Structure 1
Amino acid sequence: MPDLAGKRIVLGLTGGIACYKSAELLRRLQDEGATVDVVMTEAATRFITEATFQALSGRPVWVDAWDARMANRMAHINLTRGVDAILVAPASTDFLARITHGLADDLLTTLCVARGAVPLIAAPAMNHEMWVHPATQRNARQLQADGVHLIGPAEGWQACGETGSGRMMEPDQILRALVAFFQPKHLAGRQVLITAGPTSETIDPVRVLTNRSSGRMGYALARACAEAGARVILVSGPVSLPCPDGVLRIEVDSARRMHAEVMRHAAAADLFLAVAAVADWGVANPSAQKMKKSADSAPPQLQFVQNPDILAAVAALPDGPWCLGFAAETEHLHEHAQAKRLRKGIEVIVGNLAQDAMGAQDTELVLFDAHGAHPLPRLEKLQAARLLVHEISRRLPATAARPDAPSAAT
């Protein structure tokens, strides 16, 4: 099911060159199942036409507070009733200032002030100097204190030719932030440490031992935990996946480096999710130079050393986080997963069949605890991760506040 299925959104546009991005944003919102009404300021119509948004949305576009298409001439009231959120993108300097002070002299600002309990989400877009101006920064802080959710802005090249903060976030980033806004905050205030991906064990400068883990499940869980309100640190092996929004990623290669980073952050975590496919053994005698072959050369003789057991080490900490592990098996899933859960000393382990999950877009998970097996439906990995976060939140004990963990820049 699309992430915004059944949601009604008012998309507001204020004056700025970033209006061109809002056409793509509208389509993306609709692709995710949202019904979208577009409201533009007069300044916005200087950058992009009403006809563009009417053609894309298939619905009337609203600019004038006195529009006669509304029988009662109360578009500012009617458009907000039954709406799930008002999203203003781009949100100009002037718009932020007026909403901060409750000024309402056009349709968009009037409906924002008259919205009642409808959430207001804004994606600022302006010149760098305008964004960093003390008045704009005061307004942004006050809006957040008033419950307005700000997305961005980003840093980068701007239409004026300058570079700096103030760029509107890209449509896909705004879409993900909106989807995250609607997710239940099962892990609000929690600190989560996650491992993901494969590890890479060096044989020589160009060869490694690794496995087929894509990292998709771990990255989906990192995103799902962040959406659920957690502060997330992701310790990742080598993968070709973008870091989820709002997540602090620490990149490692070997199992020993992963172990070191996990142990460095474990004390501050409330929850540890060991999702990575960690190599059980590393090469004890890696070559400093590329190994050469010749017609009469023998195969290299590799010696192996056992790598640290990351999950068991964290589970053994006297005041450590609540731990959940993963068991990717190729046979006898129930027996092997339960045995691994007991061996690691954890309450819950998640099992799946490696041949069905590694590299796939979807997965079928089974939760194992002291009461037996609890199968979850086969789902796309992000949906499975969200369901798993819900199941985890039901089992998490209440904990005292821990020291602040590092967080990703927003």
Structure 2
Amino acid sequence: MNTDSPRVKRINRAILFGGFSVFALLYCVQPLMPLMAQQFALSAAESSWVLSISTLTMAVTLVLGGALSDRIGRKALMTASMVGGAACTLLCAFAQDFTQLLILRALLGVALGGMPAVAMAYLGEEIAPQSLGVSIGMYIGGSALGGMLARVITSVVADYASWRFALFGLGVAGLYAGWEFWRSLPESNNFRPGRPGVKALLDGARLHLRDDGLPWLFALGFLLMGVFVSLYNYIGYRLLAAPFSLGQTAVGLLSVLYVTGMYSSVWAGRLADRIGRRNVLWMTMALTMTGLALTLSANLIVLVTGMCAATFGFFASHSVASSWVGMRARAPKALASALYLFFYYVGGSMVGWLGGLAWGIGAWNAVVSVLLALLGIAMLIALRLRGLAPLAPAPVLTSAGTGVRTAG
């Protein structure tokens, strides 16, 4: 299917809104963690649960969502997920204490669990392999845009009014994104219902976990997301304190660096489509490691440059790894995507909490030391994947206007 065809353009438009909504609703609270720690008398690790609880519940439910979509279809479940997440965000604006906020954020994770894995499976079914990297890049680019705007909006509004107004506004924006997604996304052409039941879920999981490459890609998702979430979780603590002593708005504006992720995810997808994922992944991860090391500097310009490089490298790496899962997995494809994202979001939750413990022990130097060690493990995985043997071609699937589909 040509990337310029009207159907592909509609898919990419819808998937851009989907990525925007998920990341905006999920990560809008991240720059508010230092404020919540102060308001509710929490430690850095405790305040991280306002984000970690959402990623943890999302990790669990997206596996079930992927399996459910293999039975009932993709579009309806993704739309319901986006609308449910937006509704939970609206309710968060009226939470009376931190416990209520955590409950609502947990429900938000449950709601959003029907989107990420199903979106990746939909793209894997409907987009030809030579164009898949671009479409996955569009989804991740939308994620970067949503994450950036949500963080900036909540930070600015928290400085001048209240974080409650910010969450209410983001909830309304999420409802609009859900409507745009529903009206733009074409119905599936290549979807085939899978077998229902727990046995089918377990059989599919065993199939994917026996693959020579997929478990390593799952582990890579765990490490990448854990490092990235921790980076943005605790950089605010550092910038609000001496020697920088910046304000909340300035900390939120650091999320403008997500613009680099919007570019790098699509750029890396195109490059991987051209020269191969195994030849791109280790380079983008090396850039992430370099950027993280630069954040140790006491010079604000060098620190911001490091954040920029790390953000660019993370989104590029995630784009390559997630599209590799979509190309390599056999049916049930949605379950393979769900397993990748399960480890991805569990990594964000667990390593995000671990980063808070590291902050309590040795502030930013300790956080960076832990994250560099984890990235070192991720680099070893990326180098191992360079020798992964490609799969034999999958059975050919054709549909009007889509061309031939083969395995990656």
TM band (smaller chain): under 0.3
TM superposition score normalised by structure 1: 0.21
The structure in which a higher percent of residues are helix is: 2
The structure in which a higher percent of residues are strand is: 1
TM superposition score normalised by structure 2: 0.21
Q: Which protein shows a greater Rg? A: 1
